[in-house]
Amino acid sequence: MEFILLDFNTEDLQILLFILFLPVYVVTMAGNVLIVILVAFNPHLHTPMYFFLGNLSCLETCYSSAILPRMLFGFLSGDKTISFSACLAQLYLFGVLAGTECYFLAVMSYDRYLAICKPLHYTMLMNGRVCSLLIAVSWICGSLGISVLIFLVSQLTFCGPNKINHFFCDFTPVIRLSCNDTALIEIIAFTVSFVCTLPPLLITLTSYVCIIHSILRIPSTTGKQKAFSTCSSHLTVVSCFYGSLMIVYVLPNISSLSEVKKLLSLFYTLLTPLLNPLIYSLRNKEVKEAVRKTFRKLHKLKIQKRENKRKF
């Protein structure tokens, strides 16, 4: 009926962990919500790139909220029990959102590839319909395999041990507690994680190789440097995300690796949603300008209100 999440096996550091992880959650939510609001309310950010970034931020607020609030609550209250259905729900949400995020990142790099390497055809190739189609395909690819997998997990029987050695209901630690034979599920899980991570990774890498190739032909050195710094920061967060996901889900389940995998899963559960808005959006000139304009508008509104009050 119930599982117990052991998180980091540290009884005396709970408050410290809470103090460490609370700002991570707050900054993640603030950054991502800010981007969704900016994209929605600034007409000049209504371009494919910002639609993708807005959709990514929207997904990441849900993704963080699937894991962190429960974890923070556990640190604060010491209550580590989670019901079987809540555990499955968390596993499902996390799986669908992580799978979709993999495809989103690939779509975004393909969009940048078209914009930089095929600028003359860009507006024709990346129109509103194609954007929506790519987003829909990402959601479908991200959720199909996981849905089958979660259905299979829900059919397992759990009859004895209920301590999950992890900070959320992750796939491997949960099925390890089952008393059924899990060989088939593990093969399907391997296939699903392979299909969710490898093709997007290849698309992303190919796009960036083409982008870097065309950057090298820019004559000015400052232009080159700027483009390189943008590309390398994107590539760093993307490889952190795919790399840690692949090590955790595609590598075989050796128990000696389980502590390492637990630490690595901090990369894709905490770090990626925290860094993505900073790296992808808040560095851009257009976004900075949009932030400035929005604040100026708010300021003007305030002054107007004050004046109206005075008139009355």
Region near ligand NAG per CB under 6 A, out of 49-57, 97-105, 178-186, 196-204: 49-57
Closest approach of Cβ 130 to ligand NAG, in Å? Answer: 9
Max Cα–Cα distance, the chain, nearest Å: 77
For the chain, give the number of residues.
312
Does 204 contact ligand NAG by CB under 6 A? no
User: Contact with ligand NAG (CB under 6 A): which of 17, 36, 38, 114?
Assistant: 36
Tokens standing for residue 257: 């690796």
Return the number of the residue (133 or 184) whose C-beta is nearest ligand NAG: 133
Listed residue (272, 251, 271, 270) closest to 261, CA to CA:
251
Site for ligand NAG in 233-262 (CB under 6 A): none
Q: Is 206 helix (H, G, I), strand (E, B) or coil?
A: helix
Pairing of β 2-5 and β 163-164: parallel
What is the distance, to the nearest Å, from the Cα of residue 257 to the centroid of all Cα atoms in its chain?
A: 24
99 and 196 in contact (C-beta within 8 Å)?
yes
Tokens standing for residue 66: 């699937």
Please, what is the angle between helix 84-117 and helix 221-249, to 10°? 150
Does 127 contact ligand NAG by CB under 6 A? no
Does 51 contact ligand NAG by CB under 6 A? yes
Return the number of the residue (135 or 246) whose C-beta is nearest ligand NAG: 135
Q: What's the rounded Cα separation, in Å, for the pair 220 and 226?
A: 10
Does 58 contact ligand NAG by CB under 6 A? yes
Convert 260-284 to b/e letters by CB count within 10 Å (16 or more is b): ebbebbebbbbbbbbbbbebbbeee
Secondary-structure percent of the chain, ordered helix, strand, coil, rounded to 5: 80, 5, 20
User: Contact with ligand NAG (CB under 6 A): which of 135, 189, 237, 248?
Assistant: 135
Region near ligand NAG per CB under 6 A, out of 52-60, 154-162, 176-184, 208-216: 52-60
Query: Which residue number has the CB closest to ligand NAG?
Result: 54
User: Contact with ligand NAG (CB under 6 A): which of 85, 127, 132, 236?
Assistant: 132
Q: Identify residue 22 by its one-letter amino acid code.
A: L
Please identify which residue in the block is written with the tokens 């304009």: 293
Closest approach of Cβ 139 to ligand NAG, in Å? Answer: 11
Does 38 contact ligand NAG by CB under 6 A? no
Enumerate the H helices of 43-162 as residue ranges: 48-77, 84-117, 122-125, 128-154
Does 274 contact ligand NAG by CB under 6 A? no
User: Contact with ligand NAG (CB under 6 A): which of 5, 34, 38, 39?
Assistant: 39
Does 54 contact ligand NAG by CB under 6 A? yes
Closest approach of Cβ 143 to ligand NAG, in Å? Answer: 17
Return the number of the residue (60 or 170) whose C-beta is nearest ligand NAG: 60
Return the number of the residue (30 or 202) whose C-beta is nearest ligand NAG: 30
Closest approach of Cβ 135 to ligand NAG, in Å? Answer: 5
Return the number of the residue (97 or 169) whose C-beta is nearest ligand NAG: 97
Rule CB under 6 A: which residues touch ligand NAG? 36, 39, 51, 54-55, 58, 131-132, 135
